[in-house]
Amino acid sequence: MKKQNKIPAFKNEDEEREFWSKHNSTKYINWNQSNVAIFQKLKPSTKTISLRLPDYMLAELHTIANKRDVPYQSLTKIFLKEQIDKELQIVN
């Protein structure tokens, strides 16, 4: 069996993300010995942003959100995600 390299200690998630984007995990992890892990309560990392919208647009978002019985910020994330997915399909 091939010896696995030692995974370095990372200072933060950004450093770890950068490392794994440039290294093949099979040199560090024997995936044949891995187990499936389920993280039921895992939430994606979020970042607070400031977004300026015209008053009418915000009012329309509130109206649609009220009709769907969801918070307007959640609805905004849904709309953004849908558009991002569409754009990425066009590119790919």
What residues have CB less than 8 Å from 58, skipping those under 6 apart? 72
Q: Is the pLDDT of residue 42 over 90?
A: no
Pairwise CA distance, residues 36 & 3, whole Å: 22
Answer yes or no: are the C-beta atoms of 82 and 71 closer than 8 Å.
no
Q: Which CATH architecture has domain 46-92?
A: Orthogonal Bundle (1.10)
Locate tokens 């933060």: which residue?
12
Structure-token pair, residue 70? 């969801």
Answer yes or no: are the C-beta atoms of 62 and 72 closer than 8 Å.
yes
Q: Where in the chain is the domain with CATH 1.10.1220?
A: 46-92
What is the pLDDT of the chain when averaged over all its residues?
Answer: 91
pLDDT grade for 17, boundaries at 50, 70 and 90: very high
Q: Is the pLDDT of residue 21 over 70?
A: yes
Q: Is the pLDDT of residue 46 over 90?
A: no
End-to-end CA, the chain:
38
